[in-house]
Amino acid sequence: MRVQNKVVLVTGGANGIGRELVLNLLSRNARVAAVDIDESALEETNALSGPVGERLSTHIVDITDRDAVSALPEQIIAQHGAIDGIINNAGIIQPFVRINDLEYAAIERVMTINFYGTLHVTKAFLPYLLERPEAHLANISSMGGFLPVPGQTIYGASKAAVKLLTEGLYAELLDTDVKVTVVFPGAVGTNIAANSGVAQGMNPESEASQQSIEPLDPARAAKIIVDGIEKDRYRILVGSDSIWMNLLYRISPKYAAKLIFRQMRSLLPKSS
């Protein structure tokens, strides 16, 4: 779906890849609804949009609040006239510890935001997308969604759930005008740890390859994602690390898992 003159919603639009997705979409003459819980960061995204900001609306919404999300489509349609696409980008990582040391509160928070938040937005907006002559749904999974990363196992499980959710939607919507894309970012230079409220957290996509690969600039990541959406790609691998680890994991899952463990071992705290 070409995004020019389309209305696209981006969750997690206040920071990192989400902010760059908003700015990239605006640069392609799309209208954008940016959703986040961080009001001040949303205001900064709005300020960064410059003259094209007249095509941007910002919405302070907690995507884990199903009622709030359910009310969002009509709010966006009232402001923009329609909704043609959604990019479920919002997500957090877990504290960088083994499952044995991970509190249930952290587990539930990660699953609720990453999986249920994505599901809430998808369920709320899909009926409206199905009414459009063409529409697009893109969900951001993770390299950690197809490759086990020690210390981020629950995060990976949540992103694997997003992967299968998206692939299932693709199959269910094959006979409709809604295209579906699943995205797997590798190492991207964002503040995901700080934005996740993880005091000593690390970016699970960056640590595994940090010795040889520089994290991708978020603006570059956003361009790759929007380019892929415009080409109606089924899967988008963002970054050379995601591309190569996807290939290695397909060839030898066990070897790939051991490789990541060796790279991450020194970073993992000892189990209590």
Ordered structural domains, the chain, with CATH: 7-267 (3.40.50.720)
pTM across the whole model: 0.91
- Give per-residue pLDDT as tens, 33-61: 999 999 999 999 999 999 999 999 999 99
pLDDT at position 270: 74
The DSSP call for residue 239 is: S
**Residue 201: C-alpha distances to residues 86, 196, 197, 205 (Å):** 28, 8, 8, 12
Catalytic annotation on 155? Answer: yes
For residues 246 and 260, the answer to whether their CB atoms sit within 8 Å is no
Catalytic residue among 116, 128, 155, 234: 155
Return d(Cα 136, Cα 119) in angstroms, integer: 15
Work out the average pLDDT over 144-170: 97
Instruction: Tokens 């949303």: give the residue.
Output: 42
pLDDT at position 193: 53
- Confidence tier at 272 by pLDDT (50, 70, 90): low
- Give per-residue pLDDT as tens, 75-124: 999 999 999 999 999 999 999 999 999 999 999 999 999 999 999 999 99
Return d(Cα 44, Cα 40) in angstroms, integer: 6
Q: E strands within the chain?
A: 7-11, 31-36, 56-60, 85-88, 135-140, 178-185, 235-238
Closest CA to 9 of 22, 19, 20: 22
pLDDT at position 265: 83
